[in-house]
Structure formats: structure tokens, C-alpha cells
């Protein structure tokens, strides 16, 4: 009897094991693909040494249990994968088209040859072939019909890059998925299998670059010891078309090279960088270049020597130029001054327009302050017409509930990329101002601050994987809709069943708006808890702290009203935008209500477009955010039968946290701001369940890994 029980327990746990999914495969879950509806290939033709073909075979084996036979001739249903070097590809007369698509572009096409129908994946280069192959796999994974395919694609940004804020001690600044995936203490001798998994995942979404260390950069990354480690990573990423870049500390010549200073105009300093760059390229011949955070939040920079950002960037650019390396120079600069923080990057960089070398690109965060739940776009986009500018997006959810809240960022990034800057008249979207459409710069690029860590599921929250995915897809093609990206991600990551896909997609598409509502509606910003940025603290006062690191600086609540006056009567940040946006933002009547408290100090009883007073509107927004998360919980619970228990439960428990946090945000903000508005919380919304004084005592012990 006992034995039978054991056997039963064993069988039961085994069946659980089979079904359980830990998220480690991300969206590359070929094993669960249902091939029954997809016409199968009869065989494969091409140079089997190609990475693309190896990838396809790997995936095919996972899908079918066997590898695809290699054809020596083109039979019916042969899959032909090759670059223009392949004779069969050259025979297809695609060369002109392929040339136009470039070495990263590709064609996937069904071609009739006599009685045979073949499917071709072709590209000028091996990178394009890999991207094309992953595209084909995506079509299979999402259950799309594979007959008469007619696809040609090329990326809209040249450099599509992740920024890891990973420190050399293994911690990740603003990382919420555990420690860094880069095991510096094990390298170069021991190689984690995750490096290659990482490379495949990135290649599958078109990412072609990665900055592997924090912008708050330790000079040590440039020592021989570390460069040897970096070399190993670069060797693993290279076959997947991914170049390695490094964040560098501007004081490296002084700190590592023992020079008296790091002045960019000092020939000794220039020589030091030239030699260092040479050393790097000896180890990593296709090294991408440097990312620099200078004169920002305490980091050293050219201004320490009375030089400009252009002087600093150009010095590095000159050192990198012979090797075709680039400099990504960050514009995230602000000083404790009387000047509105939102204006500072523009004021600092605009006068330098036209002074940067051709291999410099200025990296600008999407908003003028700092990755807030919602910001208007930074006025630098479109404004620097003689300088290449690249957007920096934050994939990691520093200001959006870490890896506890389900917040799909595809919607946020689309809103940003489609914002009209009016820099060249109507239709000058941020995307067009940065992808080379409006201004012909030698390089175009887009960066995303990674949310990747050593957690089994890579990103902490299973749904946070969708933000990594969405970043890659938008970097490849910013014309894709947030909905389409969510749709394909859900199908690949969870299930192809429409009854699962549609409600899940709905949750994702609403999730960013919900988070704005329960955290910072109507243009409120930066009212986060001190330092760690999890949870509300609109009241914080840290004696001696920089004013622009405190929430009051941003919300400016008083008995009259709330919001930052950035109009021509106030800080005049509105004037940094092109006409007609400047007037639109300046006038409270025409300012979009989503940004009203970003640009205006608004009286509590101001009448909003729907007739509510500002105070009422704010209350309803917070309430709506809370209610929406509760709806997400209900929707998710209904989906239990569609997916594995492990991931279902994990997301379910995260939603519980999010739901509680949303109430916390609502109560904290409404009760606190009520001390100024002195108005009742509308009677038809749920009453606060917390005491303000209790909320004000909360001090979370969350480490900010700096």
C-alpha cells in the first residue's frame, strides 16, 4: 500500500514537473509549439555552418523531436536559408532587393519553381539571415500560415542596444531580478551557459549591441584583468550579431593611468585613451564603443577641467574613430541649482549642437526629468539638428513598481516615439527625428536600460519579459503597434489560444495607464520614496538633501493648488518646445490634462474638461487605478486553466502585491494632498483604509545598489 502511495506521489509530481514552466526559456519556447496547423518543411538547404541554420535546426528539433533533413536539391517544401554568397540564392534574382535591405535586412518568401514551392530566407549578410530565421520561427510559433509569404524587412535604427546598469561586484543598480548575469569573479575561465541564452534571446528580437556595465562606471572595467573577461563575453555574443560596448569612467586616465588629471585637452590624457582603445581592439576587434555618464550625479567629466561635454566626447571619439567605434554621450545632466531640473539638459546641450564628432551620438532619456511613470518627451528631441541623438528608454521598472507590478511598457514607448516634436513642422515625431528620417546623421540608435538579472525567469516578473521583448521589437521597427507586439509575445511566451491571448493582451494594454492612475495621474511626477523609489512619499523631507531629489520640488502642493508651473510665468520650460506645442502646453486650457500638473500649478477647484474639480478628478483617477488592478486580478484568475500552474501562481501573487500597493499609493497621495486641498474625497469612491500617519512611518529597507 505504502509503495503504491509513493508511486502515485511520484507520478503526480512528475506530471507537475512536466507542465511546470519557470520562464527561463523566455519567448523561445519551441517545445510547446503546435505544428499541426503549419505546413511542414520537407527539408532544408543551405550552408549548415551558418549560425542561422544552426538556430533553425535547434528550434526545429525542439518542436518536432528530430532535425530537418538536408536537401541537396530544391524539392517541394524545401526551406532555403542563405546569404548572397550562396549560389542558389543568387539564382533567385533577389540581389538588388537584398542589397537595398542591407546586411541586417532580409527577405522571407515563398517561391514557385516549376512544380515545387520553396520557402526562402535570404540576406546580404549573416546577421540579416539570423534575424530572418528568427522571424520565420516567430511565424511558426504564433501559428501563422506559411504559404505565400512575402516579407522584406530592415531595421529602422542602426544600433539597438541594451544598457546594463550592472556593477563589477555583481549587484545591479535599479535591478529587480537578482544579481547580475555577468559573473565577473568566474570569468574569464568559467563561462555561464546563460551568456549564450542571453545572446540568442537578444538576436531573436534584433538587438545588436549591449553595454555590459553600469553608467556609474568603475574605472576597473578598463584594466587588462577585466578586459580579458569582457573579451570572453564578446566572443560568445559575436556569432549572434551582438557587439559589446563599455561604460567608462571619465577619470580613468587619472585613476588607472596615474596621470595628474583627466583633462580632455591634455595630450597625455589623449594619448592614454588612444592606447587604451588600441588595447581594447586588440582583444575585441569588433568592439562597439563607449557609453559615458559625465558630470552627472557626481560622476567626473570634462567640466571638472572647464571643458564642455563636446570636448570630452570628441576626445573619446577621436580615439575610437580608427576602429569605427562610437561614443554614446549621455545628456542626463542636472545640478542643484535654481534652474528647473526639467530644463537643464536642453540648456546644457543646445549650445553644443554641431560641435560633436560624427561618431558621437548624444543619448537622451525619453523625458526631461527621469523615467517617470509619464513624462512629456524631452525637448532635446528634434531640437539638436546637427547632432545625432538617440533615445534612452528604461526597461527596468525603477519608477513603476520594480518587478512586482505588471506594467507593459510598449504603450509608453509608442506614445513617446509618436509624439510630434514639430521640429520640422507637423509630423516630426520623436521616432523620425532620431531614426535618420528627418536628419541625415551617420548613425542612428536607441537604448534600453535592461531589466535582466540572474533570476530563473530573467526579469523577476514573468510579464517584465514583455518589456525586454517590446524594446527589441520597437528598436527594430517603431511602426509596430504596442498591441501587435503584446500579441506575439503572449502567443510565444504563454499560449496561442485566443481565449487566453485576448484578455491577457487587454490587461497588458491597460496596465501602464492603470499604473499612472494609481501612482501619478495628471502629470504628477517624482513623488516617490526617497532613494529606492518604491512606493509613495510625497511628504519626504530629508534634512540637507538636494531640493531636486525631494518630492515637494515636483508637486509643489499648497493651499491654492498643486503642480509645477513651467509656463512662461513660471520656469518657462514650455519655451524649449517648438511651436505650436509651446503655446499648447503654456495655456492651461489647451494643455493636455495628462500633463496638466507637469506644466501648471493648478487650483484645487479648477474645472477640468469633464466638469470635475481638479481635486475630484485626481481622486477619481487614483480610484480608477486601484479598481483596474482589481480587474486585472479577476481577469487573470479566469485564465488559470490555460497555462502552467507555476507561472500562473507567480503572476497571481504578484498581482496581489500590486493591488495592495495601488491602495497604498491612493491612500497616501489622497490623504496627504487632502491636507492642502481641504476638500472631501468624493463620497462615491472607496474610503481610505490607512491612516496617513501610519503611511508616513513606512520605511522600506530596500537596497539601492549603487
Question: Interface with ligand GCW by CB under 6 A: which residues?
Answer: 165, 173-174, 215-216, 293, 297, 332, 370-371, 398
Cβ atoms of 501 and 490 closer than 8 Å: yes
Beta strands 360-365 and 388-394: pairing type?
A: parallel
Query: Within 10 Å of residue 118's Cβ, how many Cβ atoms?
Result: 22
Task: Tally the C-alpha atoms within 13 A of residue 457's C-alpha that lie toward its C-beta.
Answer: 19
Which residue number has the CB closest to ligand GCW?
A: 370
Q: Please give the backbone phi and psi of residue 50, each rounded to the nearest 5 degrees, phi first.
A: -70, 140
Identify the sign of the CA torsion 400, 458, 214, 248: negative
Cβ atoms of 389 and 398 closer than 8 Å: no
Cβ atoms of 657 and 683 closer than 8 Å: no
Is residue 370 part of the annotated active site? The answer reads yes
Beta strands 602-603 and 561-562: pairing type?
A: antiparallel
Task: Identify the residue whose cell numbers are 499609493.
Answer: 665
Shortest CB 174 distance to ligand GCW, Å: 5
Shortest CB 167 distance to ligand GCW, Å: 10
| Choice between 364 and 651, CB closer to ligand GCW | 364
For the chain, the farthest-separated pair of C-alpha atoms sits apart, in whole angstroms, at 85
Q: Which helix (H) or strand (E) holds 79?
A: strand 78-83
Distance CA 361, CA 346 (A): 15
Task: Identify the residue whose cell numbers are 491577457.
Answer: 504
Shortest CB 501 distance to ligand GCW, Å: 34
| Choice between 173 and 623, CB closer to ligand GCW | 173
Shortest CB 445 distance to ligand GCW, Å: 17
| Choice between 132 and 460, CB closer to ligand GCW | 460
- Among the listed residues 348, 370, 455, 510, the single catalytic one is 370
Shortest CB 684 distance to ligand GCW, Å: 37
Shortest CB 104 distance to ligand GCW, Å: 28
Helix (H, G, I), strand (E, B) or coil at 288: coil
The set of cell numbers assigned to 342 is 526639467
- Length of the chain in residues, anyone? 706
Beta strands 561-562 and 289-292: pairing type?
A: unpaired
- Among the listed residues 398, 420, 435, 623, the single catalytic one is 398
Distance CA 363, CA 391 (A): 6
| Choice between 30 and 332, CB closer to ligand GCW | 332
| Choice between 293 and 341, CB closer to ligand GCW | 293
Shortest CB 401 distance to ligand GCW, Å: 15
Cβ atoms of 173 and 213 closer than 8 Å: no
Residue 351 burial by Cβ neighbours in a 10 Å radius (0-12, 13-18, 19+)? exposed
Is residue 392 part of the annotated active site? The answer reads no
Q: What is the DSSP letter of 277?
A: H
Shortest CB 269 distance to ligand GCW, Å: 23
Q: Nearest 10 degrees: CA dihedral of 41, 46, 47, 49?
A: -20
| Choice between 332 and 469, CB closer to ligand GCW | 332
Is residue 426 part of the annotated active site? The answer reads no
| Choice between 89 and 333, CB closer to ligand GCW | 333
Start-to-end CA span in the chain (Å): 58
Identify the sign of the CA torsion 410, 416, 420, 421: negative
Nearest by Cα to 43 from 56, 31, 28: 56
Shortest CB 577 distance to ligand GCW, Å: 23
| Choice between 174 and 200, CB closer to ligand GCW | 174
| Choice between 193 and 298, CB closer to ligand GCW | 298
Nearest by Cα to 115 from 160, 64, 168, 76: 76
Shortest CB 261 distance to ligand GCW, Å: 23
| Choice between 173 and 617, CB closer to ligand GCW | 173
The set of cell numbers assigned to 572 is 518657462
- Among the listed residues 297, 304, 635, 646, the single catalytic one is 297
Composition of the chain by helix, strand, coil, percent to 5 = 45, 10, 45
Nearest by Cα to 396 from 214, 131, 658: 214
Kindly list the catalytic residues: 297, 370, 398
Amino acid at each position: 500500500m505504502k509503495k503504491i502511495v509513493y508511486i502515485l506521489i511520484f507520478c503526480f509530481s512528475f506530471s507537475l514537473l512536466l507542465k511546470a514552466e519557470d520562464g527561463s526559456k523566455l519567448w523561445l519556447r519551441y517545445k510547446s509549439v503546435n505544428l499541426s496547423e503549419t505546413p511542414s518543411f520537407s527539408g532544408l538547404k543551405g550552408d549548415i555552418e551558418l549560425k542561422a541554420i544552426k538556430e533553425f535546426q535547434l528550434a526545429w528539433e525542439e518542436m518536432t523531436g528530430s532535425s530537418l533533413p538536408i536537401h541537396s536539391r530544391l524539392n517541394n517544401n524545401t526551406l532555403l536559408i542563405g546569404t548572397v554568397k550562396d549560389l542558389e540564392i543568387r539564382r533567385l534574382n533577389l540581389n538588388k532587393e537584398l542589397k537595398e535591405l542591407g546586411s541586417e535586412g532580409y527577405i522571407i518568401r515563398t517561391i514557385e519553381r516549376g512544380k515545387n514551392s520553396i520557402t526562402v530566407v535570404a540576406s546580404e549578410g549573416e546577421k540579416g539571415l539570423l534575424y530572418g530565421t528568427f522571424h520565420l520561427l516567430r511565424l511558426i510559433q504564433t501559428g501563422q500560415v506559411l504559404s505565400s509569404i512575402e516579407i522584406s524587412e530592415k531595421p529602422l535604427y542602426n544600433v539597438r542596444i541594451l544598457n546594463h546598469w550592472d556593477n563589477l561586484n555583481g549587484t545591479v543598480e535599479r535591478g529587480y531580478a537578482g544579481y547580475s548575469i555577468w559573473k565577473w569573479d568566474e570569468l574569464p575561465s568559467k563561462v555561464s551557459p546563460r551568456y549564450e541564452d542571453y545572446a540568442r534571446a537578444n538576436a531573436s528580437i534584433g538587438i545588436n549591441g549591449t553595454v555590459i556595465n553600469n553608467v556609474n562606471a568603475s574605472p576597473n572595467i578598463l584594466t587588462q584583468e577585466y578586459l580579458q573577461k569582457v573579451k570572453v563575453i564578446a566572443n560568445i555574443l559575436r556569432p549572434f550579431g551582438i557587439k559589446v560596448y563599455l561604460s567608462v569612467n571619465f577619470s580613468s586616465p587619472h585613476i588607472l593611468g596615474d596621470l595628474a588629471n583627466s583633462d580632455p585637452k591634455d595630450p597625455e590624457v589623449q594619448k592614454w585613451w588612444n592606447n587604451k582603445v588600441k588595447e581594447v581592439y586588440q582583444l575585441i576587434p569588433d568592439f562597439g564603443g563607449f557609453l559615458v555618464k559625465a558630470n552627472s550625479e557626481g560622476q567626473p567629466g570634462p567640466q571638472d577641467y572647464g571643458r564642455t561635454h563636446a570636448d570630452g566626447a570628441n576626445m573619446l571619439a577621436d580615439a575610437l574613430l580608427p576602429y569605427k567605434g562610437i561614443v554614446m554621450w549621455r545628456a542626463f545632466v542636472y545640478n542643484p541649482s535654481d534652474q528647473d531640473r526639467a530644463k537643464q539638459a536642453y540648456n546644457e546641450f543646445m549650445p553644443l549642437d554641431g560641435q560633436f564628432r560624427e561618431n558621437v551620438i548624444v543619448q537622451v532619456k525619453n523625458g526631461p526629468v527621469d523615467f517617470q511613470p509619464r513624462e512629456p518627451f524631452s525637448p532635446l528631441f528634434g531640437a539638436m539638428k546637427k547632432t545625432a541623438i538617440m533615445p534612452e528608454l528604461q526597461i527596468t521598472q525603477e519608477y513603476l513598481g520594480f518587478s512586482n507590478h505588471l506594467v507593459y511598457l510598449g504603450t509608453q514607448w509608442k506614445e513617446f516615439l509618436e509624439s510630434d516634436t514639430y521640429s520640422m513642422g507637423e509630423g516630426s515625431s520623436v521616432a523620425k527625428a532620431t531614426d535618420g528620417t528627418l536628419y541625415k546623421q551617420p548613425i542612428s540608435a536607441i537604448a534600453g536600460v535592461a531589466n535582466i538579472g540572474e533570476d530563473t525567469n530573467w526579469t523577476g516578473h514573468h510579464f517584465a519579459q514583455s518589456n525586454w521583448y517590446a524594446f527589441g521589437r520597437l528598436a527594430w521597427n517603431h511602426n509596430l503597434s504596442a498591441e501587435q507586439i503584446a500579441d506575439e509575445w503572449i502567443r510565444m511566451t504563454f499560449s496561442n489560444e485566443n481565449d487566453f491571448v485576448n484578455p491577457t493582451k487587454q490587461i497588458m494594454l491597460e496596465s501602464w495607464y492603470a499604473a499612472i492612475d494609481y501612482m501619478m495621474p495628471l502629470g504628477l511626477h517624482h513623488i516617490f520614496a526617497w532613494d529606492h523609489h518604491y512606493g509613495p512619499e510625497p511628504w519626504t523631507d530629508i534634512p540637507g538633501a538636494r531640493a531636486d531629489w525631494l518630492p515637494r520640488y515636483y508637486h509643489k502642493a499648497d493651499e491654492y493648488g498643486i503642480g509645477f508651473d513651467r509656463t512662461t510665468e513660471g520656469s518657462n520650460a514650455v519655451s524649449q518646445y517648438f511651436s505650436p506645442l509651446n503655446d499648447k502646453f503654456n495655456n492651461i486650457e489647451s494643455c493636455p490634462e495628462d500633463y496638466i500638473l507637469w506644466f501648471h500649478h493648478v487650483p484645487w477647484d479648477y474645472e477640468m474638461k469633464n466638469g470635475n474639480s481638479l481635486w475630484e478628478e485626481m481622486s477619481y483617477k487614483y480610484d480608477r487605478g486601484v479598481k483596474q488592478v482589481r480587474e486585472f486580478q479577476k481577469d487573470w484568475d479566469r485564465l488559470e486553466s490555460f497555462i502552467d500552474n507555476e507561472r500562473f501562481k507567480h503572476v497571481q501573487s504578484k498581482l496581489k502585491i500590486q493591488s495592495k500597493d495601488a491602495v497604498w499609493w491612493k491612500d497616501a497621495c489622497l490623504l496627504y494632498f487632502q491636507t492642502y486641498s481641504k476638500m472631501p474625497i468624493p463620497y462615491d469612491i472607496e474610503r481610505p483604509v490607512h491612516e496617513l500617519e501610519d503611511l508616513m512611518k513606512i520605511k522600506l529597507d530596500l537596497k539601492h545598489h549603487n
